[in-house]
Chains A and B, each alone.
Chain A
Amino acid sequence: MKRIVIKPFLFRLLRRVPMPLISIVVGVTAGLVVWAMLEQIQSRQVNKIFGQELEAQLDLRARESLIRFDRYLASYGATTRLLANYQRLSEYLEPLFWSREAAGTPLIYKEFRPYWLPDFFERDALSPPSHVLLTDTEGQVREIYQAGARPVPERLAVRVPSNLLDIRDVRTVIDRLGDQLYLIASDSMADAGGYEMGHLVVLVPVDDDFLAASQRGVDVGRAAVALVDGDDQRIVASLDTASLPPGTTLDRWHALYVVTSQTLPEYEGSDSNLLFATFVSQAAVEKMSRHVSIFERRQRGLAAAVFIIVFTAVIYLVSSRLNKVLKRMTRFSQRALGIAEPGFNHRGGNQLVLLEEWIQHFSQLVLAARDEMNRRHQAEMRESEALKAAMMEASLDAIVTLDHAGHVIEFNPAAERLLGHRRQDALGLVFVRECLPETAREGFSALLERSRRPDAGPQGRGELRARRADGEEVPVEISIAPIVLEAERFYTLYIHDITERKQAEQEIKGLARFASESPNPILRVTASGLLVYANNASRPLLTAWAAQPGDLLPEPWRAEVAQALAGVEQRECELEVAGQLFSLLFAPIADLGYVNIYARDITAVRRAEQESRQHQAELVHVCRLSTMGEVATGMAHELNQPLAAIVNYASGCTRRLQGGAGETEALIGAMGQITAQAQRASEIIRRLRALVGKQPPIRAQADLNHLVREVCSFVEFETRRLDLAIALALAPEPIPVRVDLVQVEQVLLNLVRNALDALEEVDAFTRHLGIRTWQEGDEARVAIRDTGPGIVPERIEALFDAFVTTKEGGMGMGLAISQTIIENHEGRIWAESAPGRGTTFFIALPLAVAEAEETAQQPSQVGNSNAS
């Protein structure tokens, strides 16, 4: 509640202020806050770190100074060892013997250096010792070298205490002797013979110079080093005597210096408690601390500035972006939502607030729109409910809705009719149990299962048997549509009675079996040549075409199908497949675009036809030839006898005459035999001629064209073998002749065969055989022309004489007989020939006197006689 009061006030304030201004104000404020916070945290932290660092530095420096000091002392030890083992010293000690009794005042070298003492210290840049003592093994001082005016300190003047000496090793000790600190370094010494003589003791005063020498190479500008007496805290020696005069206590300097002191722990032998102190001036430390804090502040300022700039820039960018968004939204709302004036101006004021207001406004609009839509939707729902109810009522299919448990929740009138339940009884029933026979339940649940699959499509459709209330079963088609409503699943079943359809299908199936049971191939092809059906009997055809139902027919057959469809009449053609001959009948079904192909295996029929034809032709051929052939063969044999006998007699005579053994009588007998045999031969030929001529003429009216055609059919086999077609040029009207059919056919046959024989001798492409018939005056004429090798003019003369032949196997009787026959018919036969171009035989026969009734009768008689 409180917020609502504050908010309008704040809003009114904020609305006036543009975003960039706010951003700068916020940025500056934030920057200052950051500055202050850093001041609190950071500077304190920096001072602390600085102090720690300083302490560590001082400690390090003090340590370093101490180590240098220690090293310096160690180098004194080493030099002392050198001196104690110096050769000249041992040589010097050789003759000496210090008796205990003779102990008196020691020998003192003053102002000059004894020859056993070399100047090692100066060489090694060490402070020179003030005194060097030689003691005996008891510590009794025997000889003293004194560098300056100062005598040996009292405590060591007579005897060196044993705590300052070591029997074997070098010993360095810092100790206060009198008012002066001394470094006392000692080592044992022996004479040249190795006899232990005592100790060599070096005394070096520890003063400012000593300290300076020990710290050589160290910058003392910032830090000073001093040795401090631990007991009274007084400075014993210092590097910078001017600022830190010895004798002053440490307390005095704490205000001016930062002091670090460390003990010299090694020199236990000494009585004094010495401290090694490092002094760093406070002023230097403060100066450094100031530097650090200035640097830190500068950094802090930079951070705050960067923060302000970045923050302001970001907010400024956001606001300009918001400006654009607002502009767009204004335009959008004006255009799309039809809000004429959203009630704000994006140019002045705070964009964020404007945006919020706009969004509030917009959401109100959306809410209003949603309410409107809801109202409309409910109205529609009501309408669709009404529509659905009407559809349910009016549907011819039974519609049943099941809930997920399979209970019926909707049952339309068609379902009442189909299933025999009343609606109020059916509601709540388990559909599977009440309306399906047991056999169908499995199928139904499979359908249900399929209908649930997400991929769309009529999966939930199938045919089942349903059970009516009275127990009768009816075939139905069920389509299941699952409906998912708020996680609950319903099923709507559309059930269609297909009793009639089933019956029709059965009938169609029965009809379809006609085709499949046919022993003859039956196929169906579409207009594009696609084979859609082929019954079992058509397997040989499919094999030949290499096609299966669903494939395209081979090209020529597709064309055939197209032609059949174009013609809309049945076409018939033949196909030979692996020795089987099929007759294919193409029956187009134009309105369906199909062609049915009914095939018939006509192999046997065709073969029988061909065989009978061939048989007949052969029979006729044999008949025609047999007379002539038999005569010729018999004649040949008969003629051979007398001819061979003649030759034998003649040869016998010749041989006898050659051999000179011939008796005249015997020879004459043989000659007589020759004559007799020659006569016998001519008698045979006469008999033969008589035989041909003697036959009583059987004359019948016939058409010469018909005779020619018949003869052509006799030689069909030969012409086919030669790949030759006889060119017939027959007179258009019948040419009546009255002849012995058999004899004239023999003549024609003979001439045609001669022509064929002649053609066999020339190249295949020049072969030509033509037969022409025509009427000329009162003569019927036939010309048989071949393009064979022809006959030379000399032989034409004798062509029709007996025994003249051009053929290797011929007897030369054919033409002679032919001539006889034709002359018997009062006709003529002659030949014309051009060698190399061919021969033409002509036959002229008298035309028959046309007798109306005879010509009418005769052809049928001719037909009969031919057939018999």
Chain B
Amino acid sequence: MHHDATVFVVDDDQAMRTSLQWLIESTGMSVQTFESADAFLANHYPGRAGCLLLDVRMPGMSGLELQSYLAREGYRLPVILITGHGDVSMAVKAMKAGAFDFIEKPFHDEDLLDSIRNALDYDERHRASQATRAQIAMRLAELTPREHEVMAMVTDGKSNKEIAAALGVSAKTVEAHRARVMEKMRAGSLAELVRMALIAAPESML
């Protein structure tokens, strides 16, 4: 399964930490535990695959604070919050702030493990799309400014002649630019090029 993924557990209660590790490792996933939010931030770097299991109540930076900090900093790690009895309002707040799931203590082991699996799946998908987008961005970076323009117009559905008229060059030149774009972007067809443009849109095409 998620062999490269790690479940990060942050809980101030040592017994809780260890017991969670014991439980999760029983499914074969790797676990890394931290006794506080600061400890986690000190040892973590973005981009690591996995999910974050976070106790809401902690001395120092609380679970919610850590979650919102991570969201602000652009960490895409899915967060599962563990709440105590009667902390439902806090859980709702967490979900609104973008938590992946929350689970109430004392919990059923299977519920927790299911939630972790879902989180890891999500993380993997997210990462894959992230990788594609990075690749497309890399290829886009190879394009000259003129080729950028041509690609934008092509994916906008304009014909060669329209593009030529808009840029003030001959249709033949546009044809040449277009061929180079297809080549650089490694797009087999126009449809593929459009899909790439859509995936890359948030970063490059605005």
A residues engaging B (CB < 8 A)?
633, 636-637, 640-649, 651-652, 655-656, 659, 661, 670, 673, 676-677, 680
Contact = CB atoms under 8 A, between A and B. Distances in A.
B109 interface: yes
Interface of B: 13, 15-16, 18-20, 22-23, 25-27, 57, 84-86, 105-107, 109
Given A648-B19, A652-B19, A640 B26 contact: no
A478 B86 CA distance: 92
B26 A655 contact: yes
Given A647-B106, A647-B109, A651-B109, A641 B22 contact: no
Given A637-B84, A655-B27, A649 B19 contact: yes
A636 B22 contact: no
Contact of B18 (A643, A651, A673): A673
Contact of A641 (B13, B23, B27): B13
Contacts of B107: 644, 647
Ordered nearest first, which 7 A-B pairs have the shortest CB separation?
A648-B19, A651-B109, A655-B26, A652-B22, A645-B19, A645-B15, A652-B23
A648 B27 contact: no
B15 A652 contact: no
A652 B25 contact: yes
Contacts of A643: 106
Contacts, number: 66
Given A647-B109, A673-B18, A673-B19, A637 B85 contact: yes
6 contacts: A640-B105, A649-B19, A651-B23, A655-B109, A673-B15, A677-B19
Contacts of A680: 15
Contacts of B15: 641-642, 645, 673, 676-677, 680
A643 B84 CA distance: 11
Contacts of A642: 15
A646 B13 CA distance: 13
Given A640-B105, A648-B16, A670 B84 contact: no
Contacts of A649: 19, 22-23
A561 B25 CA distance: 86
Per DSSP, chain A at the interface is helix
A667 to B, nearest CB: 10
A463 B154 CA distance: 104
A637 B82 CA distance: 12
Contact of B85 (A640, A647, A677): A640
A644 B23 contact: no
Contact of B57 (A637, A644, A656): A637
Contacts of B109: 647-648, 651-652, 655
Contacts of A677: 15, 19
Nearest to A633: B86
A276 to B, nearest CB: 142
B110 to A, nearest CB: 8
Contact of A648 (B20, B57, B85, B86): B20
Contacts of A676: 15
A636 B27 contact: no
A423 B105 CA distance: 118
A636 B19 CA distance: 19
Contacts of B85: 636-637, 640
Contacts of B16: 641, 644-645, 648
Nearest to B55: A641
A662 B49 CA distance: 27
B10 to A, nearest CB: 15
B22 A670 contact: yes
A429 B18 CA distance: 129
Given A651-B26, A655-B26, A670-B22, 15 more contacts: A636-B85, A637-B57, A640-B85, A640-B105, A641-B13, A641-B105, A644-B19, A645-B18, A647-B106, A647-B107, A649-B19, A651-B109, A652-B25, A652-B109, A655-B23
A809 to B, nearest CB: 8
A636 B84 CA distance: 8
Contacts of B86: 633, 636
A640 B84 contact: yes
Nearest to A662: B26
A670 B22 CA distance: 8
Given A652-B25, A655-B26, A655-B27, A640 B106 contact: yes
B26 A656 contact: yes
Nearest to B15: A645
B22 to A, nearest CB: 4
A644 B15 CA distance: 9
